[in-house]
């Protein structure tokens, strides 16, 4: 069962011909290292951004973009899955940097709330 992990997720996006490139940053705000599989849920995305899809997500590991698995939760919201092998040990105040791409041909406002979970 996933449980909430103390971290800060910051995001931003900019349009480019119907494809929006954005970034997500996950910073460990806890006093201990975070280890294991993480999932970022873009909560409310399905309800507030009809016609928009999350097409890709990548984790920047030492300057190399590693593709991440995209899932969907029971509400239809996108979930970005970061495997333990890429998380490693995220020490206090360390940050993971992600690049995300949204398909948005109609320039609809993209809205969601990020939630981070550590999956056992």
Could you give the C-alpha distances from 19 to 67, 82, 100, 118, in angstroms and in order? Answer: 17, 22, 10, 29
43 bridge partner residues: 113
Domains in the chain (CATH in brackets) are 3-119 (2.60.40.290)
For 69-91, give the DSSP string. Answer: EEEE-TTS-EEEEE-HHHH-EE-
| pTM score | 0.83
Mean pLDDT of 93-110: 87
pLDDT tens, residue by residue, 21-52: 888 889 888 888 989 999 999 998 888 888 88
């Amino acid at each position: 069962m996933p449980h909430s992990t103390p971290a800060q997720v910051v995001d931003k996006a900019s349009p480019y011909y119907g494809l929006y490139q954005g970034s997500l940053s996950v910073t460990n705000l806890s006093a201990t290292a975070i280890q294991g599989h993480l999932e970022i849920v873009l909560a409310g995305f399905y309800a507030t951004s009809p016609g928009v899809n999350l097409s890709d997500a990548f984790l920047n590991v030492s300057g190399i973009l590693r593709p991440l698995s995209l899932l969907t939760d029971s509400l239809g919201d996108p979930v970005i899955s970061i495997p333990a092998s890429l998380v490693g040990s995220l020490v206090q105040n360390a940050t993971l940097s992600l690049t995300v791409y949204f398909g948005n041909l109609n320039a609809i406002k993209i809205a969601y709330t990020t939630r981070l979970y550590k999956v056992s």
